[in-house]
């Protein structure tokens, strides 16, 4: 089984004690490459620095990043932010602009500010001909309206950690978006509405991600999920090595051979990023 985790928050402090071990065990589980999610200019820079510092390391060539600003952090953006993201994106290991988008669930940044910097990042991606790694929570109307307006300039986009309903899914598919599914789908309390929607996602549009250290799949057995048990990770820290569990869970609900699903999503990922990750 071979999978690419398109969304790992690998620079999160949750991984500071054992980041190398987390990477190694992901590779051992067949999860490679890992694509590290950037959440603001600083974290995007840290992620790329981390990847650059590894020549000769077995993980070289198996780690990539995105560069972008999460809507929570939009309030800290200025012109220097776009310049910094542009500079990062010159490195071929930066595969996409994001995560960017709108989050009206927590409103950590004022909504007009979120919209402004979301659009600026869409324009950046369009100018650089890079895919977009998108985040949307409780902001469907504004989010889809903005995407619609810029649609012609967008090379490719993935709505990462999709948690919406049928209407949202149909809209995103009609806009040509890929759909990123995380272990949210394994959560019987809040993710079961996603299970019937899986069948609506065309085989060529599905991408898989853990969003680690967040969203430990609740269907994982306790021994497998052991890890950090404190604070916000009291239910266990998620890791990229758990991606095969998510793939098997999805395959079971689609009535598909897990190997076939893995092969399909691997190819989708190469296609989405316009890269051949072989070798
Ligand atoms: Zn997100």
Question: In this predicted structure, what is the pLDDT of residue 278?
Answer: 65
How far, in Å, CA of 160 to CA of 179, rounded? 6
Please tell me the distance between residue 119's alpha carbon and the centre of ligand 1 in angstroms.
17
> Cβ atoms within 10 A of the Cβ of 140, count?
17
What local confidence, expressed as pLDDT, does residue 220 receive? Answer: 87
* Residue 279 placed within a domain: no
What's the gap in Å between 203 CA and the centre of ligand 1?
22
How are beta strands 157-159 and 132-137 bridged, if at all?
parallel
What are the angstrom distances between the C-alpha of 112 and each of 76, 124, 251? Answer: 13, 18, 40
Q: Token match 């758990």: residue? A: 242
ω before 33 within 30° of 0 (cis)? yes
CA of 136 to the centre of ligand 1 (A): 7
Q: At 252, phi and psi to the nearest 5?
A: -60, -40
Angle of the 111-128 helix axis to the 79-89 helix axis, nearest 10: 30
In a domain, 230, yes or no: yes
Residue 146 falls within a domain, yes or no? yes
For residue 160, the CA-to-ligand 1 centroid distance in Å is: 6
List per-residue pLDDT tens for the chain, 279 residues long: 899 999 999 999 999 999 999 999 999 999 999 999 999 999 999 999 999 987 666 666 799 999 999 999 999 999 999 999 999 999 999 999 999 999 999 999 999 999 999 999 999 999 999 999 999 999 999 999 999 999 999 999 999 999 999 999 999 999 999 999 999 999 988 899 999 999 999 999 999 999 999 999 988 875 455 554 444 455 589 999 999 999 999 999 999 999 999 999 999 999 999 998 865
Give residue 76's pLDDT.
Answer: 97
Q: How do the residues of the chain divide into helix, strand and coil, expressed in percent and rounded to 5?
A: 45, 15, 35
Instruction: Tell me which residue range forms the domain holding 12.
Output: 3-273
What CA–CA distance (Å, rounded) separates 42 from 85? Answer: 10
Ligand 1 centroid from CA 253, angstroms:
24
Q: What is the largest CA-CA distance in the chain?
A: 49
Q: Quote the pLDDT of residue 59.
A: 62
Query: What total number of domains does the chain contain?
Result: 1
Gap from CA of 99 to ligand 1 centroid (Å): 6
* Domain CATH code at residue 181: 3.20.20.140
| Cα of 135 from ligand 1 centre, angstroms | 5
Ligand 1 centroid to Cα of residue 83, in Å, is 22
pLDDT for the residue 57 = 64
How many whole angstroms from 114 Cα to the centroid of ligand 1? Answer: 14
Classify residue 14: in a domain, yes or no.
yes
Q: State the distance from the centre of ligand 1 to the C-alpha of 256, rounded, in angstroms.
A: 27
Residue 239 alpha carbon to ligand 1 centre in Å = 16
Measure 53 CA to ligand 1 centroid, in angstroms.
Answer: 26
Which string of DSSP letters, residue by residue, matches 206-255? EEE---BTS---TTS-TTTT-S--SGGGTT----GGGHHHHHHHHHHHHT
166-178 per-residue burial string, b: 16 or more CB within 10 A, e: under 16:
eebbebbbeeebb
Contact 102, 118 (CB under 8 A): yes
Q: Provide the pLDDT for residue 54.
A: 75
The pLDDT of residue 53: 87
pLDDT at 230: 45
Ligand 1 center from residue 56 Cα (angstroms): 31
Residue 162 in any domain: the answer is: yes
Distance of CA 65 to the CA centre of its chain: 10
């Amino acid at each position: 089984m071979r999978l690419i985790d398109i969304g790992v928050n690998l620079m999160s402090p949750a991984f500071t004690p054992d980041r190398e071990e987390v990477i190694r065990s992901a590779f051992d589980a067949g999860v490679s490459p890992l694509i590290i999610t950037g959440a603001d200019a600083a974290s995007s820079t840290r992620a790329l620095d981390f990847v650059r510092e590894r020549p000769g390391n077995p993980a070289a060539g198996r780690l990539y990043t995105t560069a972008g600003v999460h809507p929570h952090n939009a309030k800290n953006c200025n012109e220097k932010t776009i310049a910094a993201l542009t500079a990062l994106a010159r490195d071929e290991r930066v595969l996409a602009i994001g995560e960017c988008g709108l989050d009206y669930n927590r409103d950590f940044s004022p909504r007009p500010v979120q919209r402004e910097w979301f659009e600026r990042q869409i324009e950046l991606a369009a100018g650089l001909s890079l895919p977009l790694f998108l985040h949307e929570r409780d902001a469907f109307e504004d989010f889809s309206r903005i995407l619609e307006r810029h649609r012609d300039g967008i090379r490719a986009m993935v709505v990462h950690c999709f948690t919406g309903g049928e209407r949202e899914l149909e809209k995103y598919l009609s806009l040509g978006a890929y759909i990123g599914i995380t272990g949210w789908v394994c959560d019987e309390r809040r993710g079961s509405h996603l299970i019937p929607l899986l069948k609506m996602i065309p085989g060529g549009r599905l991408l898989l991600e853990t969003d680690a250290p967040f969203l430990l799949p609740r269907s994982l057995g306790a021994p497998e999920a052991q890890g950090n048990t404190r604070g916000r990770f009291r239910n266990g820290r998620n890791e990229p090595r758990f991606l095969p569990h998510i793939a098997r869970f999805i395959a079971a609900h689609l009535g598909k051979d897990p190997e076939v699903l893995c092969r399909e999503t691997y190819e989708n990922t190469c296609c989405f990023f316009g890269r051949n990750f072989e070798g």
